């Protein structure tokens, strides 16, 4: 069977990403995949498993342990007609490459007035929930979202992982693709014929009393909290942001206006965060519709907790339900 055959299969998020990478390689000879251990090993989380074996080291290959060199090489490749997909292996491992990302990846198109655009994807496994230690569980999305010139994406389901990664690779401009590590083994249906538009949020659950806004790993927390709240008679809507930047104000604000209450959920520390920005945008654009202050449930403003303590750090259903109870309900 051809890897491009249209079909609906149940697969993990890691398998969906693998399929997206394989389909992109077959669809476009300019696509290259590289990073630390993505070749023979198939990646730390096996997202690139089998790609080197099938497509050869010319299309999927290992690099030295030098993140700045990985991204610098990707910039040169993208400037010369390739579509590189570079993996950073773990979120905080990307920090040595940060200067390349903000100084060159994000700015090359503007610097050259669009003459040199960089069609490249930087894959960053991020977030907690796997019992990882320091430098393995950061939520670094705010750094990239703060930088004009970068599209920042985070899928919440296997279907989104496939469709959004295909869209990211096809984009003419650079995309930072944040993959929730704790969802790599989440299973769900994947239809390879479904396409996605970058910059579009989605309604993951309908509701009329309250809107929960989340992205990446926090979407599942929001859905679980919505189900619990329903047992108490609360009709809770869930918005899956999907693309952090460009942000889909229209979908998010219409959702909040329809319910009059909003909570933003994110694993990252809450201060100067993506959650803070969403909170501010909702307060500014939906003020006359709000029945209560916009709240957020986030990680704490401390370095990521050790493995045995991370359950205290990460937002969970109990924290979301406790916050829901503060939203000035008449009953």
Annotated catalytic residue 328: no
Residue-level pLDDT at 3: 45
- Judge if 140 and 207 occupy the same domain: no
Question: Measured at the alpha carbon of residue 276, what is the angle toward residues 106 and 128, in degrees to the nearest 5?
Answer: 75
With 90 as the cut, is the pLDDT of residue 1 above it? no
Buried/exposed code over 78-109 (b: 16+ C-beta within 10 A; e: otherwise): bbeebbbbbbbbbbbbbbbbbebbbebbbbbb
Selection from 55, 46, 47 nearest residue 25 by Cα: 55
- The whole-angstrom separation of Cα 53 and Cα 3 is 14
Report d(CA 275, CA 211) in Å as an integer. Answer: 14
Taking a C-beta distance cutoff of 8 angstroms, is the pair 219, 317 a contact? Answer: no
Q: Is 323 exposed, middle or buried (0-12, 13-18, 19+ CB in 10 A)?
A: middle
> pLDDT above 90 covers what percent of the chain?
91
Across 280-301, average pLDDT:
97
- CB atoms < 10 A from the CB of 130, how many? 16
Q: Is 5 within a domain?
A: no
What pLDDT shows up at residue 2? 39
* Per-residue pLDDT band at 145 (split at 50, 70, 90): very high
For the chain, percent of residues with pLDDT exceeding 70: 98
pLDDT score recorded for residue 6: 60
* Judgement on whether residues 68 and 151 belong to the same structural domain of the protein: yes
Pair (17, 162) in one structural domain: yes
- Whether residues 84 and 37 fall in one domain: yes
pLDDT in tens, 2-46: 344 567 999 999 999 999 999 999 999 999 999 999 999 999 999
Which CATH number is 91's domain given?
A: 3.40.50.970
Domain boundary among 139, 169, 191: 191
Flag whether pLDDT at 298 surpasses 90.
yes
Domain containing residue 259: CATH number: 3.40.50.920
246 with 171, same domain: the answer is: no
Structural domain total, the chain = 2
Q: State mean pLDDT over 43-60.
A: 95
The predicted pLDDT at position 331 comes to 57
Catalytic residue among 135, 136, 146, 328: 136
What is the domain extent for residue 229?
Answer: 202-324
The confidence score (pLDDT) of residue 5 equals: 53
Predicted confidence band at 65 (pLDDT cuts at 50, 70, 90)? very high
Q: What's the mean pLDDT when you consider all of the chain?
A: 95
What are 225's two structure tokens? 């909290």
Same-domain status, 167 and 225: no
Shared-domain flag, residues 17 and 95: yes
Same domain membership, residue 317 and residue 277: yes
Beta strands in 253-314 (DSSP E): 262-269, 295-299
Question: At 60, is the pLDDT very low, low, confident or very high (cuts 50, 70, 90)?
Answer: very high
Q: Same structural domain for residues 268 and 161?
A: no
Mean pLDDT over 167-182 rounds to 97
């Amino acid at each position: 069977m051809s890897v491009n055959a249209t079909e609906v299969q149940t697969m993990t998020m890691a398998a969906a990403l693998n399929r997206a990478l394989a389909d992109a390689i077959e669809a476009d000879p300019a696509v290259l995949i590289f990073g630390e251990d993505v070749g023979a090993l198939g990646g730390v989380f096996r997202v690139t498993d089998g790609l080197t074996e099938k497509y050869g080291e010319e299309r999927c290959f290992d690099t030295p342990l030098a993140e700045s060199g990985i991204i610098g090489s990707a910039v040169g490749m993208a400037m010369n007609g390739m579509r590189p997909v570079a993996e950073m292996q773990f979120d905080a491992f990307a920090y040595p490459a940060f200067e390349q990302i903000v100084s060159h990846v994000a700015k090359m198109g503007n610097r050259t007035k669009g003459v040199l655009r960089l069609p490249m994807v930087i894959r960053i496994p991020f977030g907690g929930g796997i019992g990882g230690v320091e430098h393995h569980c950061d939520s670094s999305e705010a750094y990239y979202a703060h930088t004009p010139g970068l599209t920042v994406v985070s899928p919440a389901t296997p279907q989104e992982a496939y469709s959004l990664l295909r869209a990211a690779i096809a984009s003419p401009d650079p995309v930072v693709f944040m993959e929730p590590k704790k969802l790599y083994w989440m299973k769900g249906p994947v239809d390879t014929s479904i396409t996605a538009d970058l910059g579009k949020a989605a309604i993951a659950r309908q509701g009329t009393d309250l809107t929960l806004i989340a992205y990446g790993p926090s979407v599942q927390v929001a859905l679980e909290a919505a189900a619990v709240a329903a047992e108490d008679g609360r009709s809770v809507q869930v918005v899956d942001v999907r693309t952090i930047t460009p942000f889909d104000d229209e979908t998010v604000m219409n959702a909040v206006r329809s319910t009059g209450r909003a909570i933003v959920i994110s694993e990252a520390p809450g201060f100067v965060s993506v959650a803070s920005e969403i909170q501010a945008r909702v307060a500014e654009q939906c003020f006359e519709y709000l029945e209560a202050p916009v709240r957020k449930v986030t990680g704490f403003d401390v370095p990521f907790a050790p493995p045995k303590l991370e359950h205290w750090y990460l937002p969970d259903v109990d924290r979301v339900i406790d916050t829901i109870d503060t939203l000035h309900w008449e009953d």
